[in-house]
Amino acid sequence: MNDAIGRRSVLAGAAGLAATAARPARAQATPGANPVKIGVLTDESGPYRDSGGPGSVFAAQMAVKDFGDTLLGAPIEIVHADTQNKPDVAGSVARAWFDQGVDAITDLPVTPVALSAVQIAKEKNRTVMITAAAVTDFTAKLCSPGLTHWADDTHALTQATAQTVVKSGGKKWFFITVDYTFGRALEQAAKAVIEANGGSFLGSTYFPPGNSDFASQLVQAQSSGADVIGCGSVGNDQVNLIKQAGEFGLTRGGAKRLAAFLVYITDIHALGLPACQGLTFSTGFYWDQLPQARAFGQRFFAERQAMPTKNQASVYLSVLHWLRAAAKAGTRDTVAVGKAMRALPVDYFGHPASVRQDGRVMCDLTLYRTKQPDESHGPWDLYAAAGTLPADQAFLPMAPACASA
């Protein structure tokens, strides 16, 4: 166990004991009861495997264990499958699962994959809990009684990061953006925030998913005259972009700043702090932010030898909240459980949070910067807090059409 984890063991252990004490007594399953099934539909073999994948499956299993293994007399099962990041695969799996009695699906990386599952869930009147895909349309346009959005969405991510960077002097922006729905939505949301806060958007360049060489994009960024380079990407694409920006000398001596939006701790850990200097980003979860988060992080680390990402933490929360809501409602009916999910408060690892009527999970976002190497006390001690944006300022107001979802 590294020093950053070890030095907090007493505090986290106490929080862990408190969490254990708060768990419900384990009820025995009723013989013959149809099992409760929750599906983790994730990337098990591609670029989002580390931010989701087996870690998301384990997080869902942790939630079931903490809840008590049974719901309304029925045993709880976690099933999982690999989307291969293909919408048709995700849709096929979701349809088969719902036909086989799966009650809810969670995770759902990348927008097209999540959209496919959302469409099937609406058709089948089942639950989807999106913890990875980030576009605002899930609650702004596609709201339904069975849909909740746990990922920090594109509007919130850009509000927290772009607003803070502009106000701290990063006025002129140029974007390097992945060329699909998420990247373009992120860029447009950031542009609106930048300009609204007195900054200027100088332009952008695009690259295909899975790109390995960012030389041409970095040349354009360097010659753009920008103070800040916005990284409109995620996963391995973003890791490669940040790494090559460092190798290119783009941020050397503070010449330019990098601003990222959907960043996972596994990305920073893989890159190392020297390659990430000058990087700012926002997130609703970091394993070291509060005692409750540290307790969860240590339990996760003991099994996975990695700290949980925001996505994996949200999988845990979404599954546990769904189970608690179903217990409160006394049924697994989608509409009844959806109402209970919106009525119950969410314990967001020590932060108060809630599920809005449109399914948007509301929590404060923290702006972070990567630590200097000499500030870090261990391999996962990577973030330093730089500010907070309250939930009601981070997320879009609820669309009138979704007020009764």
The mean of the pLDDT values for the chain is: 90
Residue 203 forms part of a structural domain: yes
The range of the structural domain enclosing residue 193 comes to: 155-287+365-394
Shared domain check, 223 and 265: yes
SS3 state at 377: coil
Shared domain check, 24 and 135: yes
What pLDDT is stored for residue 390 in this prediction? Answer: 94
Amino acid code (one letter) for 198:
G
Q: Are 185 and 154 in contact (CB under 8 A)?
A: yes
Residue 194 forms part of a structural domain: yes
Shared domain check, 314 and 390: no
- Cβ partners under 8 Å of residue 153, min gap 6: 134, 135, 136, 138, 139, 360, 395, 396
What pLDDT is stored for residue 278 in this prediction? Answer: 78
Angstrom distances, CA of residue 234 to CA of 59, 127, 262: 21, 26, 6
| Residue 18 clears pLDDT 70, i.e. is over it | no
Shared domain check, 144 and 50: yes
| Residue 25 clears pLDDT 50, i.e. is over it | no
Shared domain check, 295 and 188: no
| Residue 4 clears pLDDT 50, i.e. is over it | no
| Residue 11 clears pLDDT 70, i.e. is over it | no
Shared domain check, 12 and 119: yes
Shared domain check, 193 and 236: yes
pTM (2 d.p.): 0.90
| Higher-scoring residue by pLDDT: 180, 344 | 344
Phi and psi at residue 9, to the nearest 5°: -65, -40
What is the percent of the chain with per-residue pLDDT over 70, rounded to a whole number?
92
How many Å apart are CA 239 and CA 237, to the nearest integer? 6
Residue 297 forms part of a structural domain: yes
| Higher-scoring residue by pLDDT: 28, 292 | 292
Shared domain check, 358 and 261: no
Residue 311 forms part of a structural domain: yes
SS3 state at 42: strand
What is the percent of the chain with per-residue pLDDT over 90, rounded to a whole number?
79
Residue 403 forms part of a structural domain: no
pLDDT-derived band of residue 72, with 50, 70 and 90 as boundaries? very high
Please tell me the total count of domains within the chain: 2
pLDDT tens digits, 263-288 = 999 999 999 999 898 788 999 999 99
Phi and psi at residue 208, to the nearest 5°: -80, 150
What pLDDT is stored for residue 19 in this prediction? Answer: 40
| Residue 31 clears pLDDT 80, i.e. is over it | no
Mean pLDDT of the 40-48 span: 94
Q: Are 19 and 292 in contact (CB under 8 A)?
A: yes
Shared domain check, 45 and 10: yes
Residue 33 forms part of a structural domain: yes
Shared domain check, 134 and 13: yes
Exposure string of 289-323, with b = 16+ CB inside 10 Å and e = fewer, is bbbbbbbbbbbbbeeeebbbbbbbbbbbbbbbbbb
SS3 state at 33: coil
Q: What is the CATH number of the domain that holds 115?
A: 3.40.50.2300
Q: Are 346 and 361 in contact (CB under 8 A)?
A: yes
Residue 399 forms part of a structural domain: no
Mean pLDDT of the 313-332 span: 98
Residue 400 forms part of a structural domain: no
pLDDT tens digits, 162-205 = 988 998 899 999 999 999 888 999 999 999 999 999 999 999 99
Shared domain check, 329 and 233: no
Shared domain check, 181 and 113: no
What pLDDT is stored for residue 279 in this prediction? Answer: 87
| Residue 79 clears pLDDT 60, i.e. is over it | yes
